[in-house]
Homo-oligomer: A and B are copies of this chain.
Amino acid sequence: MNILLVFAHPEPRSLNGALRDVAVAELAGQGHAVRVSDLYAQGWKSVVDRADFPALAPGARLMPAPASGQAFAGGGLTEDVKAEQAKLLWADVLILQFPLWWYTMPAILKGWVDRVFAYGFAYGVGEHSERHWGDRFGEGTLAGKRAMLIVTAGGWGEHYAPRGVNGPIDDLLFPINHGILYYPGYEVLPAFVAYRADRLDDGGFAHVAERLRARMRTLATTPPIPYRRQNGGDYLIPSLHLRPGLDAPGTTGFALHVNGTAHEPG
Contacts and interface: CB of A to CB of B under 8 A. Distances in A.
Interface string A61-85: 1111100000000000000000000
The oligomer's copy count stands at 2
A113 B239 CA distance: 34
- Of A65, A111, A162, the most chain B CB neighbours within 10 A belong to A111
Contacts of A183: 102
Contacts of A61: 11, 13-14
Given A180-B103, A198-B63, A253-B167, A241 B161 contact: yes
A240 B164 contact: yes
A54 interface: no
Interface string A33-67: 00000001000001111100000000001111100
Nearest to A160: B240
- Of A101, A156, A183, the most chain B CB neighbours within 10 A belong to A101
Nearest to A230: B165
A254 B110 CA distance: 23
B13 A164 contact: no
A154 interface: yes
A102 B179 contact: yes
A194 to B, nearest CB: 15
B179 A166 contact: yes
Q: Which range contains the number of A residues in contact with the other chain?
A: 35 or more
A226 interface: no
Given A110-B104, A175-B172, A253-B253, A65 B154 contact: yes
Contact of A179 (B113, B114, B137, B167): B167
Given A137-B165, A165-B235, A240-B165, A46 B158 contact: no
A159 B240 contact: yes
Nearest to A66: B198
Interface in A168-183: 168, 171-172, 174-175, 178-180, 183
